[in-house]
Amino acid sequence: MSVNGHTRRQFMRLGLAGTAGVVSSELSTGPASASPEEASNVLEDADHPRFDPPASVRSVRSVCGVCFWKCGINVELNEDGTPLHISGSPGHPLSRGRLCPRGVGGIGFYEDPDRLLKPQIRTGERGEAVFRDASWDEANSEMGQRLREIIESDGPGAVAFLTHGAAEVHFEHLAAALGTGHHAHPAYDQCKAPREVGYKLTFGHALKSPEPVDIENTDCLVLIGSHLGENMHNLQVQEFITSQVNGSNLIVVDPRQSTAAQRADIWLQIKPGTDLALLLAWTNILIRDGKYDHEFVRDFTAGFELLSEHVAANTPEWASKETGLSVQEIEDSAAMIGAAGSHMALHPGRHVVWYGNDTQRARAMAILVAISGSWGSRGGYYLPQQAKLPTVEDVYPELPEFPELAERRDSGYPFALGVNVNGIRQATLDGKIKAWVVVGTNLITSLPAQHETIAALKKLDFLAVVDVLPTEITRYADVLLPAASYLERYDTLCSSHSRDPFVAVKAQATEPIGECRGEDQIARDIGAELGLRKYWLWDSVEQLSKDTIAHYNATETDFDQIEWDTLIQDGYVVVSHDRPIYREGHGLGSDGIERAGAELKFPAFDGGEGDGRVQLYSPDLDTLWRSKVAAGDDPTGYEPLPTYYRPQAPPPAHVRLLYGRSPVHTFGRTQNTPVLAGREDENSVWASPATAAAYGLEDDEWIEVINQDGVRQGPVRLKVTARMRDDAIYVTHGFGHNSRQLTRAYKRGVDDSALMTQYAVDPLSGGTGMRVNFVRLVKPNSA
């Protein structure tokens, strides 16, 4: 087939390279296996001219802090130390010398004129954003006094730390020193919690980041609601391009024709909320046709017979009625998966909190991975490597012992792998938690049910917020502290999962502007105010990093040594090469080097040995399900094998609200940064022609969006497109900010989070399902 003179694969190569290269072709993600000349040709074909940055006098290697991916960066600076340009760090294992548009535009965090520059203390009512400037000494003293009063009255468990990004480790240390068990990562429960629990219940391993999906070597990539090319997970986008250039098949399951779906061999425009029905039908077909990995199932799994019996009723005909897909579409996609065998890569997704049954959907995906034999197989899931850095307690054995943690008040989810932010919010509303310290996370727009979050904020006795920008939550702070951007501070060493174990340094590239401080210093100073300074035996993260490397070199026997000067010069050090990442007999590396022979280990969920097998039928869930039944409690969602339930139907005249990511923005964090705001300054509402006609609306018309509870957002442009189903609309997340201090982002577009007044909490993981809201579209100022 040809498209405007290009073959399908040429079209794929050009289109995806263009998607990844929004800001500058030098940093666009091209085929991972292509030479620089080949990549340049692709980018020139994609019509993105090469960008020549201003001349610099020196550069610093570090790690990008715009999102969680932790790409290696090279920061160019002029003679006075001002950052001029950010590019990819050559050869870095997680980015291979390339950056997405957000990484390039990250310099905007440094130069944003709306940045917080001084400590402030609230003088008005919470939410009014009325503050006075204060010195750091006064702000720290105010925090110390307010927190001490709460701790003396209600104990350390009345204090919660809610953090995001590199700051997490510093405030986790502070929480441990204080003795509170309430240190939560809110993004986890709004993103990947069900996935991690589902895979851990099945394989005994959570997937972590980056997901170990061998995309560049796969024969068939399956994406279920995963928007590669839009979410811009750097290395995976590069591998996605490579896999397409190399001719792999692509199946995309999505109610919307996403960037990836436009390029799919099979696009399944599924009815929202019915993905589990499709997964069960695929499993049914693979077992029916014998297209599963018989040896892997025999040697490494438990419960296959029970699984076979369970999915016997989940026929393609049954699934067709549930999903809105034809029987032929279900059969053809299953056949493509079966033909790929163990070289099938089913991407587990990242933002997977959709409908409240999300752990069970993740279990169904993990089961499909297992019976296909793609775990530990080239083109399926590789077995990631990680350099084991010593803990703070290892580095400083003289560190005082941490106090016993106060009782947690966030529980209720039996397999949650961390402190649950929904539980903390509820415990606050119940009066059990009295103080929050919020760092780098805008809880008002990142959590559903904004009314509940705001009610909790107003009920607190004390709220401290640490951030770079004046986001919505900063308006409620009692004490507001200006954080240095990631370019202006050292942070702890990075050793992410990868094909090759490595250590990277998060180095400071330039001096903080204004009175901003690094989050490590802020945490240490709060600790000092609370009489906990003895738990910091280092004066800077740079010193901690050096001491960590020294201890690593003195004790590590399995990996190569690390020279500090080399680490600073290159930004990273790979500490071992060519270790096995595939199971025996299942693959060469992409460079042709034999990388098979890795041992498969499948521990129990609690970390014990268990029976050493992949749990297709979960004994942990079996025990819990039986206890629910015996107690007369509702066992729905606790079944030992994934069980489909029909999703909630919309109210009359409403359609389901779906959302996703922009390739040039990170969640709601970057809409105010100068470069990236210029690339995309507002979102729009996608609706099908039939949906628009039903509401009496036309393409490019200004509209408003009203949800099932009467919450109204807009005005916003309507995009009428055949790429949407008739029973849903789509909005890009992160826009419509309500903080006047964000001068570029204020009221630009709609805030999808404000429309999420309803949510469904997954009973197993505590993940927050947010695709349970329904909306209707109206002309501005109409009922």
Which of 79-93, 402-416, 677-691 bottoms out in mean pLDDT, i.e. has the lowest?
A: 402-416
pLDDT digits (tens, 9 = 90+) for 714-745: 999 999 999 999 999 999 999 999 999 999 99
pLDDT value, residue 779: 97
Cα dihedral 733, 737, 742, 744 sign: positive
Selection from 182, 168, 195 nearest residue 765 by Cα? 195
In the chain, the amino acid numbered 634 is: D
pLDDT value, residue 53: 56
> Do the bridges between strand 249-253 and strand 220-224 make them parallel or antiparallel, or are there none, so unpaired?
parallel
Q: How far apart are CA 681 and CA 392, in angstroms?
A: 42
pLDDT value, residue 299: 97
Residue with tokens 């702890």: 492
Please give the average per-residue pLDDT across 244-270, as a whole number.
Answer: 97
The DSSP call for residue 465 is E
Whether cis (ω within 30° of 0) applies to the bond prior to 663 is no
pLDDT-based confidence at residue 103 (cuts at 50, 70, 90): very high
In order of 23, 394, 546, 553, 560, the CA distances from 388 in angstroms are 36, 12, 15, 11, 12
Please give the average per-residue pLDDT across 579-585, as a whole number.
Answer: 91
* Helix 304-311 / helix 358-372 crossing angle, nearest 10 deg: 120
- Which is more confidently placed, 218 or 33? 218
Residues contacting residue 627 through CB under 8 Å, at least 6 positions apart: none
- CB count in 10 Å sphere of residue 125: 11
The per-residue DSSP string of 366-426 comes to HHHHHHHT-BTSTTSB---B---PPPHHHH-TTSPPPPPPPPPS----TT-SS--HHHHHH
Q: How far apart are CA 95 and CA 82, in angstroms?
A: 24
> For residue 659, what are the β-bridge partners?
731
Maximum CA pair distance of the chain? 74
Residue with tokens 């240095």: 484
Selection from 268, 265, 227 nearest residue 244 by Cα? 265
- Report the percent of the chain where pLDDT is more than 70: 92
Residue with tokens 């201090």: 741
Torsion on CA atoms 633, 634, 638, 644, rounded to nearest 10: 170
Q: How far apart are CA 623 and CA 664, in angstroms?
A: 45
Is residue 90 predicted with pLDDT exceeding 80? yes
In the chain, the amino acid numbered 236 is: Q
Please give the average per-residue pLDDT across 756-782, as a whole number.
Answer: 96
Q: How far apart are CA 663 and CA 229, in angstroms?
A: 7
Q: How far apart are CA 445 and CA 476, in angstroms?
A: 14
Q: With beta carbons less than 8 A apart as the criterion, state whether 116 and 467 touch.
A: yes
Selection from 645, 625, 709 nearest residue 356 by Cα? 645
Whether cis (ω within 30° of 0) applies to the bond prior to 580 is no
Burial (Cβ within 10 Å: 0-12, 13-18, ≥19) of residue 162? buried
**Which residue blocks in 391-518 are alpha helix, DSSP H?**
392-395, 421-429, 443-446, 450-459
pLDDT digits (tens, 9 = 90+) for 600-620: 999 999 888 889 999 999 999
pLDDT digits (tens, 9 = 90+) for 337-381: 999 999 999 999 999 999 999 999 999 999 999 999 999 999 999
pLDDT digits (tens, 9 = 90+) for 616-635: 999 999 999 999 999 999 99
pLDDT value, residue 758: 98
The 3-state secondary structure of 154-212 reads HCHHHEEEEECCCHHHHHHHHHHHHCCCCEECHHHHCCCHHHHHHHHHHHCCCCCCCCC
pLDDT value, residue 411: 67
The DSSP call for residue 737 is B
| Region of residue 122 (phi > 0: left; psi between -120 and 50: alpha; otherwise: beta) | beta
**Mean pLDDT, rounded, of the chain:** 91
Q: How far apart are CA 753 and CA 730, in angstroms?
A: 13
pLDDT value, residue 595: 87
Selection from 761, 5, 779 nearest residue 357 by Cα? 761
Q: With beta carbons less than 8 A apart as the criterion, state whether 468 and 540 touch.
A: no
- CB count in 10 Å sphere of residue 526: 24
> For residue 513, what are the β-bridge partners?
none
pLDDT value, residue 165: 87
Please give the average per-residue pLDDT across 460-477, as a whole number.
Answer: 98
pLDDT digits (tens, 9 = 90+) for 2-39: 323 223 333 233 333 333 333 232 223 333 333 323 33
Burial (Cβ within 10 Å: 0-12, 13-18, ≥19) of residue 653? exposed
pLDDT value, residue 22: 31
pLDDT digits (tens, 9 = 90+) for 128-175: 999 999 999 999 999 999 999 999 999 999 999 999 988 899 999 999
- Overall pTM surpassing 0.75 (yes/no): yes
Selection from 508, 430, 503 nearest residue 83 by Cα? 508
Q: With beta carbons less than 8 A apart as the criterion, state whether 683 and 760 touch.
A: no
- Which is more confidently placed, 118 or 232? 118
Is residue 43 predicted with pLDDT exceeding 80? no
pLDDT digits (tens, 9 = 90+) for 524-571: 999 999 999 999 999 999 999 999 999 999 998 889 999 999 999 999
pLDDT digits (tens, 9 = 90+) for 404-441: 988 777 667 999 998 899 999 999 999 999 999 999 99
